[in-house]
Amino acid sequence: MAPKELTPEEWRERLHQNPKRLELPEPLHSKTLSLDAKDKIFAGFLEISQNKTNNESTDKDNEAKEIADLECLERALADTGDGVYAQEIRLLLFKRQSVAEIEQNLRWAQDVIEADIKGRWIVQREVFVGEEFQDLCVELTLFGVDDLGEFGFEVKDKEDKETQLAAYKAELQRLNDEYWQHKQHVWRLEANTPLGPMRRAYEACRQKPDWHLSEWLRRDCAGRGGCCRRKCGCCEKARKTEREWNHGHCTSACRCCIASKGCSSKGKTTVEEDLKAVPFGFVAYETPYDERMFCEYILGMG
């Protein structure tokens, strides 16, 4: 006769009395326990482990063994497809690092998120300017000098459009240069991803192509006036370019946002303004928004 399977309460008590980390996958892989029950068991395990973190054992050998056990559990969960639970263990391991390591990780995370925002702004601005450029080309092609009066245009209108066309052409060249410089910057950032749980968490997050479409990041985009508050679906599909950062949430340079809001500025904002508009700061790391941005962007978990 098969042994009786423990209830969620019995598993919580068992792990509390003797928290053998490699026993945890057993209830998480159960075919009879509900997802809610598994989450509760895992939350109880995290609570026990977090209490140990807060108590900061002075026994260095025991501390090293606990970390090794957690890393072994992380690998076991990752290998069996429990990606969300594995990310939770990586977050726990991150919190058990030294203060200096945590500060280094947070500074790196700040740079990564700011680079992502800047990349999206460059690409979205390039799409906007490129389409404006094409529209102007069509107008100047259709309306020759002899036809301007018939269509209500003056010669000065044509001169203004040609001036604007030249300005857009110059801006497209600047944006192209900035794009390639930014790609090099991001490559250096990712090449210097801190070793340890942060690297494993970030790489696991970025393996999911739609990591940015979490419920919280959608609400964040909508709250800032982005396309997630509309039915256009801009954030769910690729923008009209093959560039990197063609997927992702809106910046102030999004053409659809500019049109939807009826902005008269033609999107004349800067990426610095966008960065100021997103209220996170990992140097202080003291607000709920800081913690949520870190978890969503770096770990892909709410």
Q: Where are the domains of the chain?
A: 8-95, 99-299
- Identify the band that residue 52 occupies on the pLDDT scale cut at 50, 70 and 90: low
Element (H, E) at 49: helix 35-55
Residue ranges in 82-154 assigned as alpha helix (H): 83-95, 99-142
State the pLDDT at residue 56.
52
Q: How wide is the angle at C-alpha 47 spanned by C-alphas 44 and 48, nearest 5°? A: 90
Q: How far apart are CA 104 and CA 46, in angstroms?
A: 24
According to DSSP, residue 75 is labeled: H
State the pLDDT at residue 145.
47
Query: 95-134 pLDDT, tens per residue?
Result: 888 899 999 999 999 999 999 999 999 999 999 999 999 8
Q: Do 16 and 48 contact (CB within 8 A), yes or no? A: yes
Q: Which residues contact 154 (CB under 8 A, 6 or more apart)?
A: 148
Q: Alpha carbon of 158 to those of 128, 150, 153: distances in Å?
A: 21, 14, 8
Q: Which of 149-163, 215-229, 259-273 has the lowest mean pLDDT?
A: 149-163
State the pLDDT at residue 84.
85
